[in-house]
Amino acid sequence: MIKKFEPHGGNRVDSLAVHPTAPLLLTASSLDESIKLWDWAQGWTCTRVFDNHNRVRHVEFGPRDTNTFASYSTLHTDVKVC
């Protein structure tokens, strides 16, 4: 059981998304400008880090292709698909 989980080194998490079928979690923090992909089946291992995502307010896995995700930023209303 996890008692404490700090995905962005103590920085606040602005958005998170749970994968619909896999043991994966996306977290986004505008303070460290990153989105991280976590695998809880592997002991909450961070499997990928996506840098340079400024002011992210929302992340979501793709509805048709769950191997992709989109992020929304308040900076110039950017939407990135990864």
Q: Are 38 and 2 in contact (CB under 8 A)?
A: no
> What is the Cα–Cα distance from 80 to 82, expressed in whole angstroms?
6
Q: Give the residue extent of every domain in the chain.
A: 15-81
> What is the model's pLDDT at position 46?
93
Give the residue among 65, 53, 1 at the shortest CA–CA distance from 27: 53
pLDDT values of the chain reduced to their tens digit, one per residue, 82 residues? 666 777 888 888 889 999 999 999 999 988 888 899 999 999 889 999 988 777 788 899 998 888 889 888 876 555 555 5
